[in-house]
């Protein structure tokens, strides 16, 4: 038997490294920000609890395969970086391993290790975009902006360096006191229309810092109106300029326009409150080259996070945090990336770094509670939400989140209690509160308090008259009770028109037709519902009943067997087994204890 060496395998990996990432046109706005952190920037170094232990392997190949699995299947950059480093130690000088380990170290925020590896990459790939970017960022961090600019000027315009390079050069020129040269460097971005928002925004930031307020205002306005709409950072920076120019009314209008589209954004709400208190910023939002490049790296990470599922978004956001450790937007984006990759403990760790003084502390703690719940730390989440509810007795959102969490755990009576407290804090209900009454209605229904549930569901419909979820839940509940059948059918039909591909709602229409004796039409809708939700036991059970009533007994028993195989509620099991044994006794199925097809 011939055994290839680890070096031979790793020298020719399944996918060799190349130019990193395609350019995306969209620049997504992040609505939720986070707070400050300690010195050091990236968070990789202080995630010791998540660092992989040095697992013994028989060869570098074993470490490589373990790292590849950690990166691709687990999305765990910490473990992946450790395993790749082990493989590299067994095969020093392997070009692929050196480059990939550098990527993973950068993605994990282990900046010194990434820098050392970038220097090694330069020996065999001097034009590599990521290695040059890492070294340029380190130069900028050390105050060597001219060196950083020179490195980026010499690097080919590939991947996102076509964006970051001109911006870094521009900020380096501004750092050297040459604003005209800085603005001229940004002209290179005109070659790609996708970069228009970056060009206008950074041109405005540079002009603002240089005291060229007229040019800054023009560029801010263009960035907010001509390059994909008003971004959060653009609104913050433009409002900052207007306030420093003693134009508070105009700043108020800018903030109000943003809040009209994003009414819950805590950052702009906080800025509006500062404005009303007469507080005026003393300097521009971005105060130098390092912060300017951090903005560009963050913006790139936002784009990548929406359009690329590799670790590239983490690389850019970690570099942004290296330059600006207290960058609240970047810190929350990093937590969001961890959550999306299923690294919930890592996300929670980032959320814990939020400064309580930040206006974004509250929403990030709500996010942290849900991350805890998803990571099976539910009691911690419950405790956190209860503390938050006590901390801010005028707010209802922590109580609503607590009710939702308890409801997801089928602790319906407790959920109702928290929803009650939330509603007491609301004042007169508004249309936007419909979902709270809908949620409490579900909790009431599941805790067998139908009169209260019906009142809540009707209130939700009053606040949002044509919502398909409420129409379906209330209509289906009436069908199960055999009341208001015509009204229930009309409501469910309205819901189906809005959501024709929702298997639960289509099932409700089939079931109301069944209960009204229209079996053949019921079969058509229930078959469609099973196509849409083949894994749902209740829908399969309903189709079996409809088949039986139309004389298709063999098909009925097939559907009932399938329903049993899908693990229905314990109360439904003996009912379905009875139908398998005897069919529908006296033409009717026994009444189930509960049904699960209404959603929650």
Q: What dihedral do alpha carbons 364, 367, 368, 374 form, nearest 10°?
A: -170
> In terms of C-beta density within 10 A (0-12 exposed, 13-18 middle, 19 or more buried), how is residue 333 classed?
buried
Distance of alpha carbon 364 from alpha carbon 353, whole angstroms: 10
Burial state string for 494-509 with b = 16 or more CB within 10 A and e = fewer than 16: bbbeeeeebbbbbbbb
377-463: CATH superfamily: Tetratricopeptide repeat domain (1.25.40.10)
C-alpha triplet 112, 296, 343: angle, nearest 5°: 60
Neighbours of 48 (CB within 10 A): 9
Render pLDDT for 214-233 as a digit per residue (tens, 0 to 9): 999 999 999 998 766 789 99
Question: Which residues touch 7 (CB under 8 Å, ≥6 apart)?
Answer: 60, 91, 94
Pairwise CA distance, residues 428 & 443, whole Å: 21
**More confidently predicted of 49 and 536:** 536
| Element containing residue 165 per DSSP (H, E) | helix 161-175
- Whether 206 and 182 have beta carbons less than 8 Å apart is answered as yes
Share of the chain above pLDDT 90, in %: 76
Angle at 84 between CA 81 and CA 90, to 5 degrees: 145
How high is the pLDDT of residue 2?
Answer: 26
Render pLDDT for 154-189 as a digit per residue (tens, 0 to 9).
876 777 789 999 999 999 999 999 999 999 999 999
Rounded Cα distance between 22 and 159, Å, is 6
Q: Give the pLDDT confidence of 51-68 residue by residue, as tens digits.
A: 333 344 445 677 878 878
- Nearest of 386, 360, 358, 359 to residue 372 by alpha carbon: 386
Nearest to 460 by CA among 480, 444, 447: 444
Query: How far apart, in whole angstroms, are the C-alpha atoms of residue 290 and residue 87?
Result: 34
Report the alpha-carbon distance of residue 325 to residue 322 in Å, rounded.
6
Q: Which residues contact 488 (CB under 8 A, 6 or more apart)?
A: 474, 475, 476, 478, 479, 512
Specify whether the CB–CB gap between 401 and 432 falls below 8 A.
no
Residue extents of the structural domains in the chain: 377-463
Strand ranges in 76-201 using DSSP code E only, listed in sequence order: none
Higher pLDDT: 86 or 32? It is 86
Q: What is the mean pLDDT of the chain?
A: 86
CA 54 to chain centre: 31
pTM over 0.75: yes
Does residue 594 register a pLDDT over 50? no
Find, among 289, 292, 361, 288, the residue nearest to 328 by Cα: 361
Is the predicted pLDDT of residue 269 greater than 80, yes or no? yes
Exposed/middle/buried for residue 585 (C-beta within 10 Å: 0-12, 13-18, 19+) = exposed
User: Rounded mean pLDDT of 114-134?
Assistant: 95
- Evaluate if residue 19 carries a pLDDT over 60: no
- Contact between 434 and 464 under an 8 Å Cβ cutoff? The reply is yes
- Of the candidates 356, 361, 355, 317, the residue with the CA atom closest to the CA atom of residue 336: 317
Name which of 19-23, 332-336, 337-341, 371-375 the model is least confident about: 19-23
Rounded Cα distance between 110 and 106, Å, is 6
Q: Does the pLDDT at position 16 exceed 50?
A: no
* Three-class DSSP labels, 106-130: HHCCCHHHHHHHHHHHHHHCCCCHH
For Cα atoms 263, 264, 269, give the angle at the middle one, nearest 5 degrees: 85
User: What is the pLDDT at residue 477?
Assistant: 97
- The number of beta carbons lying within 10 Å of the beta carbon of residue 180 is 10
Distance CA 367, CA 250 (A): 33
What residues contact residue 518 under an 8 Å CB cut-off, 6+ apart? none
Write the DSSP assignment of 236-247 as a string of letters.
HHHHHHHHHTT-
Tell which wins on pLDDT, 90 or 55: 90
- Alpha carbon distances (Å) from 184 to 180, 223, 290: 6, 17, 19
Q: What is the pLDDT of residue 153?
A: 86
Distance (Å, rounded) from C-alpha 137 to C-alpha 290?
A: 8
**Measured between alpha carbons, how far is 327 from 367 in angstroms, rounded to an integer?**
18
Which tens digits make up the pLDDT trace of 346-357? Answer: 999 999 998 889
In this predicted structure, what is the pLDDT of residue 57? 44
Residues in the chain: 600
What does DSSP assign to residue 287?
A: -
The pLDDT value recorded for residue 164 is 93
Q: What sections of 533-595 are H helices per DSSP?
A: 537-549, 553-565, 573-582
C-alpha–C-alpha distance, residues 451 and 375, integer Å? 35
Distances (CA, A) of 220 to 31, 197, 209, 458, 509: 19, 10, 13, 47, 52
Question: Residues 6 or more apart from 450 whose CB is under 8 A from it?
Answer: 444, 477, 481
């Amino acid at each position: 038997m011939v055994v290839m060496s680890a070096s031979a395998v790793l020298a020719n990996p399944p996918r060799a490294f190349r130019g990193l990432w395609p350019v995306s046109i969209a620049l997504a706005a992040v609505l939720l920000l986070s707070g400050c952190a300690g010195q050091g920037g990236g968070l990789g170094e202080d995630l010791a609890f998540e660092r992989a232990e040095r697992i013994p392997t028989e060869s570098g190949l074993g470490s490589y395969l373990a790292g590849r699995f950690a990166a691709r299947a687990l999305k765990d950059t910490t473990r992946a970086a450790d395993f790749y480093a082990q493989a590299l130690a067994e095969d020093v000088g392997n070009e692929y391993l050196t480059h990939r380990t550098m990527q993973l170290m950068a993605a994990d925020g282990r900046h010194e290790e990434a820098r050392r590896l970038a220097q090694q990459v330069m020996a065999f790939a001097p034009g590599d975009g990521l290695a040059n970017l890492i070294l340029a960022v380190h130069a900028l961090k050390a105050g060597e902006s001219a060196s950083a600019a020179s490195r980026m000027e010499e690097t080919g315009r590939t991947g996102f360096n076509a964006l970051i390079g001109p911006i870094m050069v521009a900020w380096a020129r501004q750092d050297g006191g040459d604003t005209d040269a800085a603005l001229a460097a940004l002209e290179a971005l005109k070659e790609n229309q996708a970069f228009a928002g970056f060009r206008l925004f950074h041109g405005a930031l540079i002009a603002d810092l240089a005291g060229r307020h007229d040019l800054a205002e023009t560029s801010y306005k263009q960035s907010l109106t001509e390059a994909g709409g008003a971004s959060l950072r653009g609104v913050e920076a433009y409002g900052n300029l207007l306030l420093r120019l003693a134009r508070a009314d105009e700043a108020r209008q800018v903030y109000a326009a943003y809040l009209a589209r994003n009414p819950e954004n805590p950052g702009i709400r906080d800025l509006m409150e500062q404005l009303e208190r007469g507080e005026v910023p003393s300097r521009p939002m971005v105060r130098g080259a390092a912060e300017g490049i951090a903005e560009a790296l963050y913006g790139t990470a936002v784009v990548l996070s929406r359009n690329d599922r590799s670790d590239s978004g983490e690389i850019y956001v970690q570099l942004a945090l290296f330059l600006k450790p207290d960058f609240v937007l970047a810190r929350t984006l990093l937590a969001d990336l961890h959550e999306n990759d299923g690294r919930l403990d890592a996300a929670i760790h980032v959320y814990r770094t939020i400064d309580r003084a930040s206006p974004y502390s509250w929403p990030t703690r709500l996010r942290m509670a849900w991350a805890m719940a998803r990571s099976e730390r539910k009691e911690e989440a419950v405790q956190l939400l209860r503390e938050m509810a006590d901390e801010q007795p005028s707010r209802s959102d922590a109580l609503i989140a607590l009710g939702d969490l308890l409801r997801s755990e089928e602790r319906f009576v407790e959920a109702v209690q928290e929803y009650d407290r939330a509603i007491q804090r609301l004042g007169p209900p508004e249309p936007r509160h419909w979902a709270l009454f809908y949620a409490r209605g579900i909790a009431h229904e599941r805790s067998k308090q139908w009169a209260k549930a019906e009142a809540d569901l009707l209130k939700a419909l009053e606040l949002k008259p044509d919502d398909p979820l409420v129409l379906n839940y209330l209509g289906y509940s009436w069908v199960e009770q055999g009341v208001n059948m015509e009204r229930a059918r009309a409501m469910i039909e309205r819901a189906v028109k809005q959501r024709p591909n929702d298997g639960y709602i289509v099932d409700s229409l089939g079931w109301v037709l069944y209960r009204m004796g229209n079996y053949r039409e019921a079969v058509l809708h229930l078959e469609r519902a099973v196509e849409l939700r083949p894994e749902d036991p209740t829908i399969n059970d309903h189709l079996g009943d409809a088949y039986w009533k139309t004389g298709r007994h063999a098909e009925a028993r097939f559907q009932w067997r399938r329903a049993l195989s899908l693990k229905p509620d314990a109360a439904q099991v003996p009912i379905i087994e009875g139908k398998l044994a005897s069919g529908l006794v006296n033409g009717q199925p026994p009444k189930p204890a509960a049904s699960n097809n209404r959603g929650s």
